[in-house]
Amino acid sequence: MTSRVVIVGSSVGGVRTAQSLRSEGYDGDIVLVGEETALPYDKPPLSKALLAGNSDAAAVTLLTEEDAG
């Protein structure tokens, strides 16, 4: 039987949980469930630095396409 973990929430907590599972050796499927259509991003900096023009989208992105698999 294939093992799968489903994490509800794709913000910092969800992403860090998935990363911790991998770093501890979990090799099953990990599914992040969130309502955004983009890769997970760090929301507080988005609402502050990015919208103020002091940052760019790459600075608040939590995962890359490669990380997301």
Q: What is the pLDDT of residues 18-69, one digit of tens each?
A: 999 999 999 999 999 998 887 787 777 666 776 777 777 777 777 777 877 6
Please give the domain boundaries of the chain with CATH numbers for all domains: 4-68 (3.50.50.60)
Residues 6+ apart with CB under 8 A from 45: 55, 59, 60
Q: What is the pLDDT of residues 1-20, one digit of tens each?
A: 679 999 999 888 999 999 99
pTM: 0.64
The CA distances from residue 24 to 16, 20, 53, 66, in Å, are 12, 6, 37, 20
The CA distances from residue 53 to 23, 36, 37, 45, in Å, are 34, 22, 22, 11
Question: Rounded to 5 degrees, what angle do the CA atoms 17, 19, 20 make?
Answer: 65
